């Protein structure tokens, strides 16, 4: 539904106005001449109202559900879909059918078949579906790609890539929060690591031909609850010794609270205390209804004989990605803070310092570069979005197949698509 001209801003409808949408809309706030919010669809009243006020949307541009929006769609160039993962497929298919270009948060959908159907529908309709794989816009990951592509270290032989999820992120998101159950979102490998598999495919420019995976929900289960523990951290006699305490995370440290809405007239303190007493985020980690894994490994063999050893660990203090790339003429080791490049013969060791980027908002600016790339793609049709759906389905296929391997204990061979 191309409605803007080169001189006008690209217009976008946001479906879901939570954490991710706010990141992308920051670009509209900074560059109103390039991107304009034309409407919002959000079930949460506070978030709908806040977004409408921030961008001056009239009531007729605000919707509580996407069915009513698609019944009478507003003119706009694109739709941004940043709802939870069980609410990606349906609005995305409706947006494609209505002729909008789409910016879709990852993961694409909840099954491989749904991912392929979105890809096919976009192709049939001739619309762009971009997937928000932000690592391809992140300066640290781009530098790794540039070094590998330069050929100075020869060819890749093997890669070892670790996602240290971090205990706080894990207990908040994958035990108490939105990503705790596969049926609501996806298996953890897909929710958390489709980014990483996408990065590894981008880096190696190869196809995965075989994989196997292992992992389980080992620790955050009822049988591991300490005998004296209580159902809620706020009532728990051993809370002060517990590394998973919600009181410590949200109340003492005021961490991971950005998704706690503060209703008019309430204070943050009251909201946190209410959550600790009665909300999902106040629950003991051993007494939640979570079912996603807390550790998983995947071994991959690529069609250029590169081997990849991938690991996702929840039990880490830090929250970072570590990559070790062994090439024919040297090696690259990085942990998002530093990137060390060493040649086997000749040349000085080079160390790039990325620590300054760690605290930078918007994934070190990558979120804003991603939305800018999408706006560029819509403004100039010859510009190609870096992470279009066609580039993204394969990484999802690997994640879904790894899940199959984990559950069946079988090595999976992937045919060429
Ligand atoms: N690219 C990344 O780096 C990255 C990072 C985090 C999350 N994500 C993905 O972004 C998506 C959104 O995550 P988030 O962190 O913004 O979550 P969020 O909970 O902050 O925001 C989602 C919003 O969608 C709203 N919503 C739910 N169902 C809806 C419906 N049917 N219609 C309209 N609105 C609805 C919720 O009320 C909420 O405000 C998820 O798919 C998540 O996996 C991507």
Torsions phi, psi of 400, nearest 5? -65, -40
106 and 34 assigned to the same domain: yes
- Token duo for residue 402: 């790894």
| Protein residue closest via CA to atom 15 of ligand 1 | 19
Residues 66 and 194 in one domain: no
pLDDT tens for each residue of 78-90: 999 999 999 999 9
Asked if residue 345 belongs to a domain, the reply is yes
Q: Which atom of ligand 1 is nearest to the CA of 63?
A: 33
Nearest residue (by CA) to ligand 1, atom 21, is 18
353 and 205 co-located in one domain: yes
CATH of the domain at 143: 3.30.360.10
Contact 100, 127 (CB under 8 A): yes
Q: How far apart are CA 369 and CA 334, in angstroms?
A: 22
In a domain, 377, yes or no: no
Task: Say if ligand 1 is within 6 A of residue 44 CB.
Answer: yes
pLDDT at residue 414 is higher than 80: yes
Facing residues of 103 across strands?
Answer: 80, 130
Rounded percentage of the chain residues whose pLDDT exceeds 90? 92
Question: How far apart are the CA of 25 and the centre of ligand 1, in A?
Answer: 14
Average pLDDT, integer, range 154-163 = 98
Q: How far is CA 164 from the centre of its chain?
A: 14
Ligand 1 within 6 A of 282 CB? Answer: no
Q: Does residue 163 share a domain with residue 52?
A: no
Contact 305 CB / ligand 1 (< 6 Å): no
For the Cβ of 90 lying below 6 angstroms from any atom of ligand 1, the answer is no
Q: Roughly what angle, to the nearest 10 degrees, separates helices 45-55 and 19-30?
A: 10
Percent of the chain's residues with pLDDT above 70: 99
Q: How confident is the model at residue 3 (pLDDT cuts 50, 70, 90)?
A: low
Do 50 and 125 share a domain, yes or no?
Answer: yes
The 10s digit of each residue's pLDDT in 338-396 is 999 999 998 889 999 999 988 888 888 999 999 999 999 999 878 889 999 988 999 99
Query: Is pLDDT at 39 greater than 80 in this prediction?
Result: yes
Same domain, 409 and 343: yes
Does residue 197 share a domain with residue 90?
no
**Best mutation site among 14, 15, 16, 392 for ligand 1 pocket (most ligand atoms within 8 Å of CB):** 16
Decide if 373 is inside a domain: no
Residue 87 sits in the same domain as residue 30: yes
* Boundaries of domain holding 53: 10-131
Question: Using 50, 70 and 90 to split pLDDT, how confident is the model at 5?
Answer: low
Q: Whose CA is nearest to atom 19 of ligand 1?
A: 18
Same domain? 273 vs 301? no
Domain total of the chain: 3
Residue 26 reports pLDDT greater than 90: yes
The domain spanning residue 96 has which CATH number?
Answer: 3.40.50.720
Q: How far is the CA of 82 from the centre of ligand 1 (A)?
A: 4
Give DSSP secondary structure letters for 232-269: BGGG-TTGGG-TT-HIIIIIIS--S-TT----TT--HH
Chain segment 63-110, per-residue pLDDT in tens: 999 999 999 999 999 999 999 999 999 999 999 999 999 999 999 999
The band of 6, judged by pLDDT with boundaries at 50, 70 and 90, is low
Measured distance CA(364)–CA(140) in Å, rounded: 9
304 shares a domain with 192: yes
């Amino acid at each position: 539904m191309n409605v803007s001209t080169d001189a006008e801003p690209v217009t976008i409808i946001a479906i879901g106005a939570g954490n991710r949408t706010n990141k992308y809309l920051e670009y509209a706030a900074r560059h109103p001449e390039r991107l304009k919010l034309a409407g919002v669809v959000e079930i949460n009243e506070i978030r709908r109202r806040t977004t409408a006020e921030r961008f001056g949307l009239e009531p007729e541009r605000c919707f509580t559900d996407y069915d009513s929006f698609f019944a009478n769609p507003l003119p706009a160039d694109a739709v941004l879909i940043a709802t939870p993962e069980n609410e990606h497929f349906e609005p995305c298919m409706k947006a494609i059918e209505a002729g909008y270009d789409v910016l879709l948060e990852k993961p694409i959908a909840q099954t491989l078949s749904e991912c392929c159907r979105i890809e096919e529908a976009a192709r049939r309709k001739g619309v762009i579906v971009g997937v928000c794989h932000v690592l391809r816009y992140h300066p640290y990951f781009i530098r790794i790609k540039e070094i590998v592509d330069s050929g100075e270290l020869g060819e890749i032989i093997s890669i070892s890539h670790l996602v240290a999820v971090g205990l706080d992120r894990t207990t908040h998101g994958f035990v108490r929060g939105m990503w705790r159950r596969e049926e609501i979102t996806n298996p953890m490998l897909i929710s958390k690591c489709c980014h990483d598999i996408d990065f590894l495919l981008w880096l190696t420019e190869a196809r995965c031909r075989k994989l196997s995976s292992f992992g389980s929900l080992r620790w955050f289960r009822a049988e591991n609850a300490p005998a004296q523990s209580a159902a809620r951290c706020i009532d728990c006699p051993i809370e002060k010794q517990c590394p998973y305490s919600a009181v410590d995370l949200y109340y003492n440290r005021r961490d991971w609270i950005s998704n706690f809405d503060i209703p008019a007239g309430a204070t943050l303190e009251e909201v946190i205390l209410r959550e600790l007493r009665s909300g999902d985020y106040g629950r003991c980690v051993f007494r939640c209804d979570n079912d996603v894994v807390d550790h998983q490994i995947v071994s991959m063999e690529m069609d250029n004989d590169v081997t990849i050893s991938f690991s996702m660990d929840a039990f880490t203090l830090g929250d970072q990605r570590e990559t070790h790339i062994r090439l024919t003429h040297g090696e690259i080791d990085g942990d998002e803070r530093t990137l060390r490049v060493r040649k086997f013969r000749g040349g000085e060791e080079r160390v790039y310092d990325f620590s300054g980027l760690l605290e930078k908002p918007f994934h070190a600016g990558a979120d804003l570069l991603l939305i800018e790339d999408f706006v560029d793609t819509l403004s100039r049709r010859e510009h190609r979005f870096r992470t279009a759906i066609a580039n993204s389905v394969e990484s999802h296929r690997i994640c879904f197949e790894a899940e199959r391997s984990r559950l069946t204990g079988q090595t999976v061979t992937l045919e060429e698509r």
